Each structure stands twice: as structure tokens, then as C-alpha cells.
A and B are shown apart, each in its own frame.
Chain A
Amino acid sequence: MGKAFKYGDNVDTDVIIPARYLNTTDPAELAKNCMRDIDESFAVEVKEGDIIVADNNFGCGSSREHAPIAIKASGVECVIARSFARIFYRNAVNIGLPILECAEASEKIAAGDKLEVNLASGEIRNLTRKETYKADPFPPFMLSIIKEGGLVNKIKKELKR
């Protein structure tokens, strides 16, 4: 369970983790500057289990995997958006950061709402508003990557076989 951080359309990877902080690969270091250019208070206020909720095309722009890494290392449990940019989508899946596409949730959730997410069923419960939204189910192939904890773990197992 966590609190919603709410953003609009086209949240790009440059505001998620500005290029001036890309001279490191350390997740904890990246998390310190997560969302800095769109929301300076994010890195200070975010707590383990919190959830980012946005509108269209979340994660557009650069291919930097540092963006989902920074979000995951911030303690964010899940990102919910109406739609995701494609490289961000695959990066999130590949590193095991849960993401859900859900128009209704994107519309109805407000900043600060308490949310509970069931990744297996795609069910998003808004405890503040006493509402439930249903996200599109994850394709089984991608679910298998997330369940393995990311693509590297999946490939590692396959190579051992």
C-alpha cells in the first residue's frame, strides 16, 4: 500500500532523471535525483510502496534505463499510466519494475490517494475514494520476465539449461 504521486502527459526521461546525473550507474545515487526536474519534493517525500500515477506517454524520450532504475530504487512499487512510451515500457519490464496501463485509474486517482495494487489480477484499489479500477492484463511473456525478477534472471536460467 502506498501514496499516489500524480503527474500529467508526456513525463519524459529527462525530467525523471536529468542527464547531468547520468554519470553514475548506482541506483541509490540515481534515486536521490529522481523526478528532480518535474517535482523537486519527490525524492524527499517518496516512501517504500508509493505509486506514481500519470497520463499519456509516460517515460517518453531517451532510452536511459536509469529512469526506471531511479524510480524502482526510490521505493516505488508500481507506475500506473494511461499509456507508456515504448522503450520505457520494455525497460521497466526488463528490470522488474511493475507498470500498469489503466485509463480509469489515471483519470480518477488524485495526488495523495492511498492505493493498493494487485499485480497478478491488475486490480487497483483506491482506499481514499473507495473505488476499484482494472488495468489491462500483462501479456504472459512479459509477466514471466517480471516474475523472474527481470530479463537478466530469465536469460541466466535459460543459458544454464
Chain B
Amino acid sequence: MGMTMSQKILAAHADLNEVKAGQLIEARVDAALGNDVTAPVAINEFNKIGADEVFDKNKIIIVLDHFTPNKDIKSAEQSKKCRDFANDKGIVNFFDVGDMGIEHCLVPEKGLVTAGDLLIGADSHTCTYGALGAFSTGIGSTDLACAMATGKAWFKVPAAIKFNLKNKPSKWVGGKDVILHIIGSIGVDGALYKSMEFAGEGVAALSIDDRFTIANMAIEAGAKNGVFPVDAITKDYIGARAHTVYEADGDAEYEQVYDIDLATLRPTVAFPHLPENTKTIDDVGEIKIDQVVIGSCTNGRISDLRLAAGILKGKKVARGVRAIVFPGTNEIYLQAMREGLVEDFINAGVVVSTPTCGPCLGGHMGILAEGERAVSTTNRNFVGRMGHVNSEVYLTGPAIAAASAVTGRISDPDEV
């Protein structure tokens, strides 16, 4: 029996000719990632192991992105702990305020992940890098601590679900609508413990940013990873970076195969309080909103900002709505300035934040009061995710979010 793309990457990093779903393996990691919430726990555990040095100073990435610029004294102390550790161990890829960004936007931008890599991160959205044909998956702080010491991690080899994509999405349909549609179909545990492997001619119709968004939310279906084949679009993005292309065997085994016609998809909204509660924009009805959030590791990339600014340019955010844009990285922020997008946002009455995970996880920079509703391009709409337990988050792509900011209710981008 052949192997899936994910299984091939795992096998190569475990120095095995073959792996099977369910097999427990130990594999080398090309990089291990942590942030200001998860790295402090990992540092505690690393110190318990008693290793003097990290396994490779170039292969550990620490990004201070969740509660930064620090929101309170306790989070400042968490950041300081990361900073001191990075200095002490000589961590090369340590990103502090000024050169940080939201980790899953920053890591690919800095060229720290490439096709064929095995990357683990103490952040559930580490699965984002599957967009580049890497095997990347979220793990916990103890896993990160052990990987920092040994350069290895344990894995249960996942089975896989294949998504055959065909045709091209229509004007307002992007990566977010594709992945929300899929999660709406299979459920928040529809891919539990499994790989989501994307394939078919429709892949070519998805930009690298669309792919980042799709792979990013594989975890919201319970998946271990989401992965795209490496094609001309991937190679254009990774440029001169050394990489290895892995392809699924022709006789690879998939537990399920879904055929998805991208042309039939509509802009999609996930209603509270689970990403699987999806409706197309046509079935939403009248839902008034208090806040719009555009950004995050899911939709904080330049193409997301272009789409949103294109809708908001020359218009005004509705009275009574707070609209917040947070670019994924300083480089994306700069690019948005060069293109005049920041000016378009500010003229429309939008506030543009520094890069931070901030409101996505109810950290800071846009917390909701009791009874308030937000339309957000982020990835989770769990109870209390963005603030009060009686607040609500509606997940969408940047087109619906921008249109909704203008109308004050969840709106079809065609309306504005």
C-alpha cells in the first residue's frame, strides 16, 4: 500500500522507508516554534530536563505575538522569560516587538519553512505551513521543550482524508470560504487525528495566501495537518529556498475522498459557537454587529488586506461599529502602506493595529462586552473567545467582513 504525502514526509524524517497509519514513530524536526504564551511553559519544562543547550540554535523559533506589545505586567514577565531564554541559549530566530509578526504569517515570510519540512509548533495553527507542502502540526509546550532539547518529537502516523478540488472560485469566494465550507460539511471533529490532503486541478486556482488560510484552519476540523501539493505557485513563493517535493503515491489510502467544486461555493459565515455552524451569505438574514476584525494568522496577509481595502475605499464604517485591521507582520503592514491601503482603511474609519494575535483569542486590542457581536476573519468562534461569555463571533473571509463594516450587519460584498 502506498503512502500519503504527509506519511512520506514523516517517514523521511524518521529514517524509515515506510510508515503506516497508526504507527508510533520518533522523527527529526526541521524547526520547533513557540510563542509568548506557550514558550514560557516550555522553558520551565526544558529547564527540568537539565540540557545545557538547545539542540540547534538555528532551528528554534520564538515569536512574541499573543499579548504583545505587552498588555499587562504578567504578560510582560512571560515575554521577558522568553527574551532571557533566547539570549541565554543564543536562539537565532527570536522575534520581539519591532521585528515580530503573527507567527504563522512571519515564519513563512522569513523563509524559515519550506516544502518537505517537518515543523512542530506550540500553537495549534502551526498547521498553516502545509500550504507550502510541509508537514507542520501543533503540539504542546512539553513537546516543544523536548524538541528543543533533542530535535525530535513523537508522532502517531495519521490516516488521511483527500479533498479533490475542481474549477475556480467565483469573485468573492476565497480560501476562508473554502475551508469554512469543508468544516461545515465534515464537522469540527470530522478530520480528528487525520491529515487533510488537498489535491486536484482546482488547487491551481488558489493563491498561496488562500492555501495558507485553508491549511491554517485544518485544526478546526480536528486535523493533525493540512497539506497542499507543491506546484508552480508554491515554487514561486519559496523561490530559491532549498526544498524537497513529496507526492502522495498513486495507491495511497484515504479514509474518505470528498469532491469539491470551487465554482459552486458561496461566501460563507460560521455562526456562534463552532466553526462548523456554517451558512452561505444568502441564508444569513439580518444580523447587526458591533465590531469587525480583519487580520490574524488566518486572514492577515497582504491579499486579505487588499480585498478588504478595495471594499472599504471611499466608504465609511457604519456608525456604532468598531472596525479593526491587524496586519500579520510589519512587512505586510509596510506593503499595505506602500499600496495606500492603510490610508484607505483610516479614511474609512478603521483602526489599524500593530501585528498581534490580540482580539482573536480575547487577549487584548478589541475585546467584546456582554451581548456584543463581531464579524471576524479569525479562526474560532467558541464561547467567550473574543471576550464576554455572552458575546458572539461570526467567522468570515475579509470580503464579507469589510462589507459588514460598511453596512453594520453581516452583508454580501456584492451589496456595497
Contact = CB atoms under 8 A, between A and B. Distances in A.
A62 B385 CA distance: 11
A19 interface: yes
Range for the number of chain B residues in contact with chain A: 35 or more
Contacts of A61: 124, 380, 382
Q: For chain A, give the interface size range.
A: 35 or more
B224 A86 contact: yes
Nearest to B81: A25
Interface in B143-192: 143, 145-146, 149-150, 154, 188-189, 192
A83 B41 contact: no
A37 interface: yes
A24 B140 contact: no
A99 interface: no
Contacts of A18: 362, 384
A29 B39 CA distance: 18
B30 to A, nearest CB: 19
B310 to A, nearest CB: 32
Contacts of A12: 380, 382-383
Interface in B215-268: 219, 222, 224
Contacts of A37: 383-384, 389
A113 interface: no
B193 A86 contact: yes
B122 interface: yes
Contacts of B188: 10, 57, 60
Contact of A94 (B75, B143, B384, B389): B143
B413 interface: no
A141 B67 CA distance: 36
B408 to A, nearest CB: 27
A155 B49 contact: yes
A68 B126 CA distance: 20
Interface of B: 24, 37-38, 40-41, 44-45, 48-51, 66-67, 71-72, 74-75, 78, 121-124, 126, 138-143, 145-146, 149-150, 154, 188-189, 192-193, 219, 222, 224, 274, 361-363, 380, 382-385, 389
8 residue pairs, one from A and one from B, having the closest CB atoms: A91-B140, A23-B74, A94-B142, A57-B189, A65-B140, A63-B124, A65-B141, A19-B361
